[in-house]
Amino acid sequence: MNKWLKLIVSIVICEFAGIIGSIFTTPAIGTWYAGLTKPSFNPPNWLFAPVWTLLFLLMGISLFLVWNSKSKSKKIAIYIFFGQLVLNILWSILFFGMKSPILGVFEIILLWIAILLTIISFVKISKPAGYLLIPYIIWVSFAAALNFALMVLN
């Protein structure tokens, strides 16, 4: 497979994960989520879609850099990556789909650990691939704080 096709496939896989998550998120935004008591640091709803779209793009580029590398350990790193991607989708299912901030808190901790493991495994193969995931772990750290605050307030 040529490099451009690998890049496109990597990005599409990650953006598709975002689309799956949005299937559970979007219906709850105007209904259940709108009725929650929010902390003072809650961003406006319109901000989430562009941020996540950008983060999934960065994840896709990161995945491509590892996939395209000659490293013998890339297979394990890619498995770890896909594990965190599944956990990312699962958070949307638990928090928005099941309307459970409590389950969301427990799951987002696992997601954060999986992202950290992905960064560590990617940096060993391609420093830029690992560095591209730093905005993701920062955003998920913020999301974890927001999730916790929503759990406490509601």
Contact in structure between 10 and 60 (CB atoms under 8 Å)? yes
Dist CA 129 CA 99 (whole Å): 33
- Does the structure show a pLDDT above 80 at 1? no
Q: Which numeric CATH code is attached to 3-153?
A: 1.20.1260.100
pLDDT at 122: 98
Look at residue 18 and tell me whether its pLDDT is greater than 80: yes
Give me the pLDDT at residue 52, please: 98
pLDDT, one tens digit per residue, over 36-55 is 999 999 999 999 999 999 99
What one-letter code names the amino acid at 149? A
Q: Which amino acid is at 95?
A: F
Average pLDDT score, the chain? 98
What's the DSSP call for residue 36?
S
Share of the chain above pLDDT 70, in %: 100
Cβ-based neighbour number of residue 31 at 10 Å: 9
pLDDT digits (tens, 9 = 90+) for 54-81: 999 999 999 999 999 999 999 999 999 9
- All structural domains of the chain with their residue ranges: 3-153
